[in-house]
Amino acid sequence: MKIVASPDHRLHHPAGELYEGDLVPPFECPERWDHIVAALEGAALGEVATPRPLPDTLLPRVHDERYLAFLSTAHDVWRAEGHRGDMIPTCFPARRMAPREPLDIEGRLGFFAFASETSLTRGTWAAARSSVDVAYTAQQLVGAGDNSAFALCRPPGHHAGRDYFGGYCFLNNAAVVAQAFLDDGASRVAILDVDFHHGNGTQDIFDRRDDVLFASIHGDPRHEFPHFSGFADEVGTGPGEGFTANYPLAPDTSFTAWMEALDSATRRIDRIGVDALVVSLGVDTFVGDPISTFRLTTADFTSYGHHLGALGLPTVYCMEGGYAVDAIGTNVVNVLIGHQEAGP
């Protein structure tokens, strides 16, 4: 399996995040990347390739250009106006508040954000661009004939919508991979999100489209972040109706129940027929994860990796969540090993 990663992820390193009323060290931290790389090296899955830049025309096919302009300049404006430290959104438009972009940088920050745990730092834009380059390069390797590739993306991406950030995500890596497959000639692509949290950003991007099937297995949003999307009756809009499939599951879901949802999702993928599969790989379904409630064990990750590999599809894995730092590398590698054991 080809692996793509970049040390430029370290450019994004917030000082803290707001969690349960306190400013705490971020759960999404550079050490996650280090543990995954160490586990990959120990498993000898393959050499790590250096990413190459994605075309300038690709990002605007996934994200709004106003949003991209904001992300790319926000911290420079923040500092130029005399602010210090990281940018933490504190004011958000809600319900019937007018959707007009403010002029003030603090207002613009809230306008493009949906959650206050996610900080913008001096290096966030460069790190996010590097992360999406990692994803794009993995797609190009698979498009050139490799059966599968793992994109070690950091920051993650599945909470980033067409014109908003949050949930530690700024640019939607999995969405970029899906769009790149389509641009390279695929008729239809599936994105399977196995992160504990609903991929609200990915759903937002493809909600009205019938060339991408988005399927997400996640904690019931009545209990879990991001709270306002991921319900079973969200099935896509207009031409995209029937191309969104959500599987919200209760707290303390066992691997048996989780696998029933995965089996349903993969049967749906098989039924509609796709040319490629993108997996938003979050391993925060692990029983020891500090901000999640599912009950998967380390061995379970191998089992479901085998299930995904058995689909026989050209596959790109994009790294998403997973915050049990000491176990994250083993859990990620187990998925990839399972895939390789089952795949062609």
- For 121-165, the pLDDT digits (tens) are 999 999 999 999 999 999 999 999 999 999 999 999 999 999 999
Catalytic residue, chosen from 158, 159, 197, 198, is 159
With left for phi above 0 and alpha for psi between -120 and 50, is residue 74 left, alpha or beta? alpha
pLDDT tens for residues 254-268? 999 999 999 999 999
**Residue 258 near residue 297 (C-beta atoms within 8 A):** no
pLDDT tens for residues 194-209? 999 999 999 999 999 9
pLDDT tens for residues 269-288? 999 999 999 999 999 999 99
pLDDT at residue 319, as a whole number: 99
- Give the mean model confidence (pLDDT) for residues 167-192: 98
State the chain's mean pLDDT as an integer.
96
- Give the mean model confidence (pLDDT) for residues 231-246: 98
Q: Which two tokens stand for residue 226?
A: 């991001």
Residue 95, exposed/middle/buried by CB under 10 A (0-12, 13-18, 19+)?
A: exposed
Element (H, E) at 145: none
171: confidence class by pLDDT, cuts 50, 70, 90: very high
pLDDT at residue 292, as a whole number: 97
Q: Which two tokens stand for residue 183?
A: 């641009």
**Residue 309 near residue 340 (C-beta atoms within 8 A):** yes
pLDDT at residue 98, as a whole number: 82
pLDDT at residue 33, as a whole number: 97
Statement: residue 328 has pLDDT above 90? yes
Q: Give the dihedral sign, CA 331/335/340/341.
A: positive
Domains of the chain: 2-12+23-63+122-342 (3.40.800.20)
- Give the mean model confidence (pLDDT) for residues 44-70: 95
Statement: residue 309 has pLDDT above 80? yes
Does residue 159 have an active-site annotation? Answer: yes
Three-state SS for 132? helix
Element (H, E) at 121: none
Lowest mean pLDDT among 91-95, 171-175, 235-239, 242-246: 91-95
Statement: residue 23 has pLDDT above 80? yes
Cα-Cα end-to-end distance for the chain:
11
Q: Which two tokens stand for residue 204?
A: 């937002």
- In the block, tokens 């790590």 appear at 48
CA 3 to chain centre: 17
Q: Which two tokens stand for residue 97?
A: 């508040």
- Give the mean model confidence (pLDDT) for residues 80-91: 93
20: confidence class by pLDDT, cuts 50, 70, 90: confident
pLDDT at residue 118, as a whole number: 96
Element (H, E) at 269: helix 255-272
pLDDT over 70 percentage in the chain: 99
